[in-house]
Structure 1
């Protein structure tokens, strides 16, 4: 059996497309949730301190446990299609990592920026939206992109719960043949596509860093 028949190739590429879809959705939601967690942990004071404690507990819980654990937890406890389950599991885990990245960026913004915003009559949310967060994200883009590559690579864990993503589809094709040479060809193809996607992200980060240095 020819593993790279048109039908098999289309099957594998559909899996690759699903990997990209799940990764993009998980990254977007993780950045949103992570930003909220970082802001709550960093700035909730006084009577709202309990929210900061909850955010801190969430971040530590997910950062100190493996991603695969939460993939299995969501798989067994949530009813939904494979994309929903996958995105939810990765968002739960990755948002904790994103929160610490964002918080590091917030800490790198000089306090004078906050004072300048207040002197202009900006409230907290207006200061964050117009002044602090734009500077924060410019500083943390390399770290965010680094985490993006981690999400893409870790999406291969989803093959363990039979989500028809890139690795799972590749395994199905490899199981259809007993020829070692054809199995190795599929492995090589998987390697090349994963490498091409993540290396492209790395190149984007390097290009951005060069622009920062030149600015």
Structure 2
């Protein structure tokens, strides 16, 4: 068991962890930007933009993420890391767009009418009244999607041989055969995923509680 916790192995796993966090961070940033745009488009009044957003969201969300990884990697002939980032961004954008659309729909129409009566423009109403309230409602679902991104990067090694955290552990597994070693290694990887995702979820709950108290 002690053979697993060597400096070389830990450094090897840290490189995989860095790849997981790097990919996840870029995917989360890009998907939040594109998802917000699509969510607003689908919730807007322009029928053409609403149709475009609806087609993208419904089509992408109903195709497995694994298939998007294959499509991007094989059809567009990308290297592993860009393919992973692109495929995850495509899928996560659709998921976040639907979350954002639902959050915006959850705001009472009277908020818009109240803003117009005070002389606000539609853009100002959205920016200062609608979106701040909607983000409070959307936060748990958005954070849950972020956690899903981090966990699902573990698909990338088996599909396109991208050596993220789980991929590095699979490579290390080839050196160990005793059950205690295997369980120890998998337990370590599970613990790393748990710590990262639990920290994100805990911060999300703390932030939501802070916003709720500030609104009172």
Normalising by the residue count of structure 1, what TM-score does the alignment of the two structures yield? 0.90
Determine the C-alpha separation between the residues in 2 that align with 1:106 and 1:139.
Answer: 9
| Alignment-derived partner of residue 178 in structure 2 | 179
Match of 2:85 among 84, 87, 91: 87
Residues 66-95 of structure 1 show CA distances to partners (whole Å, capped at 9, x for unaligned) of 111101111113344433221211110011
Cα deviation, residue 166, structure 1 = 0.4
| Alignment-derived partner of residue 110 in structure 2 | 112
What is the 5 A alignment of 1:20-35? 20-35=21-36
Determine the C-alpha separation between the residues in 1 that align with 2:209 and 2:125.
Answer: 28
Normalising by the residue count of structure 2, what TM-score does the alignment of the two structures yield? 0.90
Determine the C-alpha separation between the residues in 1 that align with 2:184 and 2:74.
Answer: 34
What is the 5 A alignment of 1:39-188? 39-45=40-46, 49-160=47-158, 161-188=160-187
Determine the C-alpha separation between the residues in 1 that align with 2:9 and 2:73.
Answer: 27
Determine the C-alpha separation between the residues in 1 that align with 2:185 and 2:116.
Answer: 58
What is the alpha-carbon root mean square deviation over aligned residues? 1.9
Determine the C-alpha separation between the residues in 2 that align with 1:116 and 1:166.
Answer: 50
Residues 186-206 of structure 1 show CA distances to partners (whole Å, capped at 9, x for unaligned) of 101001001111111221232
Cα deviation, residue 116, structure 1 = 2.7
